Amino acid sequence: MNSFTGVRIDGGIHPFQIIQQNAEGFGRINCLGQWHSQDGSGVVQLRLVHASDSHVVAQSTDWQQAADQQDTSWSHTFELVPSGGLYRIETRLVVDQDAPEWGVHGDRVHHIGVGDLWIIAGQSNAAGYGRGPALDPPELGVHILKNEEVWDVAAQPLNDTTRSTHPNLEQANPGHAPYLRFARDLKSALGYPIGLIQTSLGGSPLSAWNPDENPGAPLFNNLIHCIKLAGGKARGMVWYQGESDCGISLASTYEMRFSSFIKHLRNALDQPELPVILAQLNRYTEPQDDEDHRGWSIVREAQRQAKSSGHITAVSTIDLPISDAIHTSSDGNLTLGSRKARAALGMVYGHPIHWRTADVSRAELVEKTTVEVTYGHVENQLLFLGPGQDDFIVQDDIGLVKITSAACVSRDRVRLELERTIQGHGRIHNAYGAAPPSNLRDAETNVPPLAFFNLNIET
């Protein structure tokens, strides 16, 4: 026997949910439920209004009859809902057509919006293990699909393990993550809600994400599951991973394996140009042997080269503070979130801003013992904060070539003086190893260029 009279909303849309808008700036909001009246009569009606003032969102979202009403069930889709929010769905059961405003009460769904969804994926520095207090408050209009498969206002820690039903259950309590700041910056600049889909897991190797390495790839499958829960599409992905792949055997294939993962992800979502904003690895301060240092540089170079897959950009992290041997601190995460937001605004949304991280374009032997390194995407001019020669390593067929001095000789060029001439094939590295010095900056942005490895020195 029915215990209620009126309209219920049982699914299709959930409180705090953010709907991914289409290319024209509209979203579709589906809802369904049950209805009941004492005599079995009545018409289910619903509307979509602004949560702030209860005005209807658009003429097409004013009171209307449910598209499909059966004996005890109903369903409806609001088409062409403009990006924005927050919105509220209201329902009623109209039994007197001459006075619909006195319809029997119905359920409501609060705090929903139409905007963009961003996937959070990677390992611990994506999940967020920053320690220390930082002002990074939650904000209505920045929401998250949590690991317990409910939508909520996004708040730290983003990778909350409470009632988690997903395989990305952290073994330790997560801390501060960069992506609340990322989403708040986007919302401020774009003027509509941002939703986050959290799928990262501390310590996860690339093989847990890449079906080519592991057909069961649990984190890849969970990522796809979460996106389907959110509606099946996303605007882009923020990625921070690689620390678990810095062993030399894995590092040497990281570029190929990461490209494979991205291809699988784009195919699974039917989004061949899904944007990806990745972080080039920060530092790891535990003692390492020579092969381990080489592995960290190989992975950073693979991340620098990831742009070859298209619609991918990397941001630098090597200068950000850490709160233990490997995890970016809370303050560092705030900076990283803003760097990634700026990259998204430029690459994805086309804002007329400088968004690319400075990146090496060539190294050239200009005199017998002088190498000049040229960078692209320099916004202002390069400068060193400390001894510049420590930022670079030069090698040739004999071995290491000592750098005696380094100076910025133009807005985008660094000149290195060498102790001897290069013998045979010369190569140069920047920010080499697990925990390298990093003194080179763009003067206005105070951001270091991307680290690079094994760049040929032209003669």
Which residue from 404, 371, 379 is spatially nearest to 390, judged by alpha carbons? 404
- Other CB atoms within 10 A of residue 56 CB: 15
Least Cα distance to 14 among 168, 153, 138 occurs for 153
Query: Which parts of 41-167 are beta strand (E)?
Result: 43-50, 64-65, 68-69, 73-82, 84-94, 104-122, 142-145, 151-153
Least confident of 70-84, 164-178, 236-250, 295-309: 164-178
pLDDT at 262 over 90: yes
Specify the 3-state DSSP secondary structure of 327: coil
CA dihedral 267, 272, 275, 281 (to 10 degrees): 50
CATH 3.40.50.300 fits 123-347, yes or no: no
Per cent of the chain over pLDDT 90 is: 93
pLDDT, tens only, 15-30: 999 999 999 999 999 9
Residue spans in the chain of domains classed CATH 2.60.40.1130: 359-458
The domain 359-458 is placed in CATH, from the list 3.30.200.20, 2.170.260.10, 3.20.20.20, 2.60.40.1130, at 2.60.40.1130
Per residue in 312-326, pLDDT (tens digit) is: 999 999 999 999 999
* 68 CB-side CA count, 13 A: 10
Count how many residues are written for the chain: 459
Query: What homologous superfamily does CATH list for 6-112?
Result: Immunoglobulins (2.60.40.10)
Of 257, 318, 235, nearest to 282 by C-alpha is 318
Q: What is the mean pLDDT of residues 330-353?
A: 98
Query: Does pLDDT of 1 surpass 70?
Result: no
pLDDT tens sequence across 175-192: 999 999 999 999 999 999
Rounded mean pLDDT of the chain?
Answer: 96
Where does CATH 3.40.50.1110 sit in the chain? 123-347
The whole-angstrom separation of Cα 450 and Cα 314 is: 8
Q: What angle do CA 345, 303, 219 make, to 5 degrees?
A: 85
| Segment 207-217 mean pLDDT | 95
Write down the pLDDT at residue 2: 52
pTM of this structure: 0.95
CA distances from 31 to 45, 67, 77, 195 (A): 12, 10, 6, 19
